[in-house]
Every structure is written in structure tokens, then in C-alpha cells.
A and B are shown apart, each in its own frame.
Chain A
Amino acid sequence: MEAMNLWLGGLQVALRPENVFFAFIGCVLGTWIGVLPGIGPAAGTAILIPITFGLDPVPAIMMLCAIYYGSQYGGTITSILVNVPGESSSVVTCFDGYPMAMQGRAGTALGIAAIGSFVGGTISTIGVMIVALPLARLALKFGPPEIFALVLVGFTMIVGLTGKRLIPALLMMCFGLILALVGQDPVRGEPRFAFDTVELYDGLDFVPVVMGLFGISEVILNIEQPAGEVIKTKLSSLIPSKEEWKAASGAVARGTALGFFMGLVPGISSVIPTFVSYVVEKAVAKQPERFGHGAIEGVAGPETANNAYSQSAMIPLLTLGLPGSPTLAVIMGAFLINGITPGPLLFRDRPDLVWGLIASFYVGNVILLILNLPLVGLWARLLEIPYQYLYSGVLLFCFVGAYSVRQSTFDLGVAVLFGVLGYILRKLDWPMAPIILALVLGPMAEKALRTSLEMSGGDFSIFVSRPISAVLLVGCLLILVGAALHEHLRRWLTGHTPTPPNAA
């Protein structure tokens, strides 16, 4: 009941005209990012952070979150129309979405994907309302040892995010932690790794690093190996038939449940719920041989799971301050830039922001349904933008973003340096997400560790003698074991999915 009252208060905040306007802008930009192959949601969100600098924190955060879950909608469009996933979580949609398009049922596929996404996202938001407050209250009981153990959980999530490249991932995590140490010691205020450079006394800012690693490196890589000819598409009616509705409704229900519960577990990539949903739909179908040849459940289930996941994945971020994916790490950075620290205190100190944000998920889902049904033809036209114009524009935004944080050319140089570094890391096939996660969580980890050791007089057993901390450390071990099994799970899942059809 309390959660409902708080949510209604949040709805009042979310429905303010300026907040609705910026949520709309976020949904448009997010859909655009999702449509365009080559720019992932993490890079796209990072590049668009500077747009929010002139805004108040509430509309700024709402807009960035709208970009995040909007990109999940957008990736579907290209998967169905041209067999090119706009982002990684839309890969599975190619399996049956593109064959549906080849059969002249592209509109039906897009329609059921949009409606399923809306249902999954909306129900998942109800789940967020129910779970968020109790979890936030539990987190208020955390002291420095529990906070350090929790951040350690976050770091072990990095293992889950990286799959095969374990050592490079851990190496990048350490590198990110070192970057986070540049500047002033948070406990004693002494400068570290500043080398008498005035600009480094305040540390490395998150935005230029992200602009470089995700934005500039992405552009260099795509220009090095540009895409081929411009993609052209065609479209038909959006409304499924009665039989298709009936077939898809079960898939939507199952996808919602799968996506919601998987989003609660930090570290599970957005790709996993879509694959699991696809395998489940194929397993429960009366005619599983239809899958891979235009089965509507093969589109409805994964798309619903994808969007249910994107809403519930906000819960670890908002309640515990733990981003569960690279995109959420970027959003957490945006929170910090706006002077807001995600975590349990957010529910106590800024209920207007957090409940307004949760309520804005509903508003965003409605906006996305409207954008993705009648305007889908317009989104498909974006694929026709030549890459010269697109990437020049992306670089322009990166420069503005990197400079505008502190009005410093030094930050511009930092962005370029990390752009080159990011390019090299991508060529090496080393993950960059651990750098961002470590950069965001590093200061918290150091402060919690040192404070805990001061409390215990240097005794490390403080981390296992306190029950919550001990449980969290056991959780770290389970995540590590899960990560080791993750690769086997992924191979098993892909062994049960068809080969994607060739493009026409």
C-alpha cells in the first residue's frame, strides 16, 4: 500500500509536461539508437549524456532511462526488416522475424513485437514497484563491510558480462580501478597519480572516458571497415490476425516472467533472456518445426522478455547502486554527474526522483508503443543514412560531450586518448565494460574497504564475521561458478536455435 502511494506521487512527477516531453525525446533518441546497427545502447546513451547537462536531475535521468529502454524497442525493427540486429539483444528476433517479413508479414511481426514489449515492460514495472522498497530498506542496514562485499559482487558480475575473456576482463577491471584512483584520496584528501597536473587533481571524469571508449572508438572501427550499400526496406499491415493473437499471447506471458526475474540478477546479459525465451517457446509449441520459418511466438516471446528485462534490471541499480550491464553503468555515471547516488538512500532522500522515474517507465512504454506502431516506416528510413554523415555527427557529439563537462580541452584530449585505447581493445577483442564498471564502483569500493579496516583495526575477518557481508561474499562465489557455467549454458542454448536465415 505504501509503495502504491509513493508510486502515485511519482506518477504526478512523471506526468508533469516537461518530464513527459523529455521522456518522449529519450524514447525517440533511444529508438533511433536501437535502429542503427553499429551504435550500441551503451555508446548511444553515453554520447547523449551531454544533452542532459542543462536539465534538472529528474527530467535528465528520465530521458536517459528512456533512451536505454527505447533502444530495446528500436533494435527489433532492423532485425525483422533486414535481418540485421540493431543491438545484441535483438539477434534472436532475426530467427523468425525476418522469415515473417519474407512472407509479407513484416507488419504483423513488428506489431506483435511492439505490443509484447509494451505488455512485458508494463508488467515488469509493476514488479519493480513491489520489490524496490523492501530491497532498499534491507540495504539501509549495510555498513562499510557490507558495502564493500556488495561492490565485490558487482566486480564479480564483470566475469558474467565477459564470457570467455576472463583474464583480459579482470585486467580491464584493475585498469578501471587504477583510473578511479586518479585525483584526491577520498579518505585523506591527498592527491594521487596527478603528477602536478592541475586538471588531474579532480580525477578523470567519467564522461570523456566513456565518450572515448565507446563513442570515438566505435566510429574509428566502423570507418576502418565501413558497411556496404545503404539498406532499403518495405512494410505491410501491423495488425496480427485472431489466430496470431492467440498464438502470441502465451509467449508474451512467459516472456514477461522470464525477462522480469532475469533482470533482477545483476550481470546477466540482455541476450540471455531472449535466448531462454526462444528455447522455451520452441519447447512448449505444438509444432516446433515452425520455428525458424516465421513462427510468431519466436518473435513475441523474446521481444517481451527483452523489455521486461530492461525494466527490472533497474532494480539492482536503484536499490543497491549496482549497475548490471554496461548501459546501466553509463546511466549510473549520469546519476553521479547529476549529484545523485543510486542506492538505498535514494529512496529516503529523493523519493520524488526514484518514484517519478519508476512511474516514468509506464509513460515511456506508452510513448514507445505509439512511436513503434504508426511510425515504424520512418524508423526504417534511418537505415538509409550514409555512414559518412552518421559517424561525423557522432564524433561531433562526442567532442561536445567531452568538452562540456568541465569546459576543458584536457578532457577532449582524454576522450581522444581513450578513443584510441578503445579502438585497440576492440581489435584485441578485450571487453571495455569492466573499465566503466570499475571506474564507477572503484571509489565506493576503496572507501568501504579502508573504513572497514579502520573499524576492525586492520583485521580482514570483519568481512566474514558480519552475516550480511558473509552472505554477499558467498554470492560472489556463486556468481563466479555461474559465470563458469554460463558459457556452457550459452552453447546449449545456441545449439537449440536455428541458423539465422540469409538476407535477400
Chain B
Amino acid sequence: MNTAWKVAGAAFLAFSIFVVAEAFKYGFLDEYGPGAGFFAVLIGILMGGLSLALVVKVTFFGVPEEKLASVLPRGQEASRVLLVLGGIIGVVLFIQPLGFRLTMLAFLIYMLVSLGARRMWVVAALSLGGSFGTYHVFYHWLRMPLPIGYLVGF
């Protein structure tokens, strides 16, 4: 956990340096007063200072009241996390070309079966209801457009 906090602190330190460098391009102060980058510079410097303080504190004093043994999941836990992430990323990639209904149908079947649902009629019913049913409710009742797909047109 110490290492995880140090890595996270270092990442935010790098991010804050990037923010400050980028913010100066937008202008800090000019004849009209504070520029577009004024607030970003201040916050970036503050964030950099806090990140550095965090890294130093964890290095010399450790993580306060450590609760979790490890940030990275292992074994079955890692498999489950990757499974969910795979499904989620798949939705982002396919929702426009395939449309909401087909993408969600595939996603729900994938998730339910992968997470251990075994009664196929329940999986089928929930997947159809969740995909086509949700589309119907949002598109026709709530007047909220959802992707219809341009490869399949469905």
C-alpha cells in the first residue's frame, strides 16, 4: 500500500507539472487582470505541493491506518475485474456501429453468464428486457435518443 500511495502521489505530481506548464500558455496576468490560466496555475502549484508532501509523508511515515493489503487484485479477483472491464470497453467500442439494443443485448448476456447466472431463460429475458426494453422506454417514452447503429441499422 505504501508503494501504491507513492506511485499515485508521483503521478499527480507529474500531472500538476503538466497542468502548470499548459496553464501558462493561456496567460497568467495581463493588463486586464487575471488571465485564463491564472486559476489553473495556482491550483496546479497547490496540487504539486500536496503531491510532493504526500510522497514525502508516505516515504517517512507510511500510510495512516492501512486497511487494504494490496491495490492490485490477484487471481480470481483480477479475472472478475478484467471481465467487467472487457465488457465495459466493448460497449464503448461497439455502441455506435451496432446500436444500443444489440450492444446492450450482447453485453448483458456476456455479463450475466460470466458472473455465474445459469438459468438461460432468465438470462435471455433480462437481456432482452434490459436492452430492447430500456431502448423503448428511453427512446419512445422519455424522448431520449439512443444510438441506432450505422453498420446494422438496428
Contact = CB atoms under 8 A, between A and B. Distances in A.
Contact of A453 (B34, B40, B126, B141): B34
A227 to B, nearest CB: 12
Contact of A420 (B85, B107, B111): B85
Interface in B123-154: 126, 130, 134, 138, 141-147
A356 B68 CA distance: 46
A413 interface: yes
A388 B19 contact: no
Contacts of B147: 403, 409
A449 B126 contact: no
Given A192-B26, A223-B84, A450-B34, A396 B142 contact: no
Interface string B86-124: 011101100110001000100110011001110000000
A220 B23 CA distance: 34
Contacts of A387: 115
Nearest to B19: A178
Interface residues of B, number: 70
B36 A188 contact: yes
A396 B43 CA distance: 35
A209 interface: no
B81 A168 contact: no
A170 B9 CA distance: 12
Nearest to B71: A427
A423 B77 CA distance: 13
Interface in A394-424: 395-396, 399-400, 403-404, 407, 409, 412-413, 416, 419-420, 423-424
Contacts of B116: 388
Contacts of A187: 36
Interface centre among B46, B84, B116 (most CB of A within 10 A): B84
- Interface of chain B: mostly helix, strand, loop or mixed: helix
Contacts of B95: 399, 403, 409, 412
Contacts of A171: 9, 12, 47, 50-51, 54
B36 A192 contact: yes
A103 B70 CA distance: 40
A2 interface: no
B64 A164 contact: yes
Interface in A132-170: 164-165, 167-168, 170
A429 interface: yes
Contacts of B68: 427, 429
A411 B81 CA distance: 22
Contacts of B19: 178
Given A192-B37, A224-B77, A428 B5 contact: yes
Interface residues of A, number: 61
A453 B32 CA distance: 10
B88 A395 contact: yes
Interface in B12-39: 12, 15-16, 19, 22-23, 26, 29, 32-39
Interface string A427-468: 111100000000000000110011001100010000000000
Interface string B66-87: 0110010100010011011101
Nearest to B67: A429
Nearest to B110: A392
Contacts of A404: 138, 144-146
Given A174-B50, A220-B84, A392 B138 contact: no
Nearest to B38: A450
A243 interface: no
Interface centre among A164, A192, A386, A453, by most B CB within 10 Å? A192
A175 interface: yes
Contacts of A220: 81, 84-85
Given A190-B36, A389-B126, A175 B144 contact: no
A225 B77 CA distance: 7
B32 to A, nearest CB: 8
Contacts of B71: 424, 427-428
The 8 closest A-B pairs by CB, nearest first: A54-B142, A174-B47, A388-B115, A185-B36, A454-B33, A427-B71, A446-B39, A392-B111
Interface of A: 50-51, 53-54, 164-165, 167-168, 170-171, 174-175, 177-178, 181, 185, 187-188, 190, 192-193, 216, 219-220, 223-226, 386-389, 391-393, 395-396, 399-400, 403-404, 407, 409, 412-413, 416, 419-420, 423-424, 427-430, 445-446, 449-450, 453-454, 458
21 contacts: A174-B43, A177-B39, A177-B43, A219-B84, A223-B84, A224-B80, A224-B81, A387-B115, A388-B117, A392-B126, A392-B130, A396-B104, A400-B134, A404-B138, A416-B92, A423-B81, A427-B68, A449-B39, A450-B33, A453-B34, A458-B34
